[in-house]
Amino acid sequence: MPEEAKMTLIENKKLLYDGVENEELFSGFFNVNDLRFTLSEMITNEIANLKKHISEEDFSKITQELKFQTNENSEFVRHFKDLRFFEDFYKSDEGLSVYFLNKDNCLYIFSFGEKQPGRYILNLEAVYAKNEHLKFKK
């Protein structure tokens, strides 16, 4: 019998902010379902750090389902990888940096960055519901 999925995708990509650098962007609150957060709370949780909290299998599922680009796709980075110059990074399909927040029984995945000079984009990439088999390690 196949193992039950540890996470279920419950919400897909949604634009949360598209605009200029201003007070609303950097000091305001954003709301997604029951999650209320600031940009500064989100950007402290780069998606690469999610590997410390969930299984490699679950992490791979997320990055594959959401089609994140990695530095492994870069010939330049691959060439110098053994020199440890580059940490793992992940980019959205729009080339934005990827972050996560964990609240209650949900894992929220976001992308954020400067799309054009002075134009910032914040997307909700996905929300995953965690079942009882997935334990988020502190």
Give the per-residue pLDDT at 16: 95
Residue 21 DSSP one-character state: S
- Provide the b/e sequence for 109-137 (b: ≥16 CB within 10 Å): bbbbbeeeeeebbbbbbbbbebeeebeee
CB atoms within 10 A of CB 68: 19
| CA 107/CA 113 separation, integer angstroms | 20
Q: What is the pLDDT of residue 127?
A: 95
**AA identity, residue 99:** Y
pLDDT at residue 132 in the model = 59
pLDDT of residue 1: 33
Q: Considering the entire predicted model, what is its pTM?
A: 0.81
Whether the CB-CB separation of 26 and 39 falls below 8 Å is answered with yes
10-residue mean pLDDT profile of the chain (138 residues): values are 64 94 89 93 92 87 89 56 60 92 93 93 94 57
| pLDDT for residue 39 | 94
Please give the pLDDT value at position 109. 97
Alpha carbon distance 41, 35 (integer Å):
12
Asked if 11 and 124 touch (Cβ cutoff 8 Å), the reply is: yes
Residue 124: which of 106, 136, 112 has the closest Cα?
A: 112
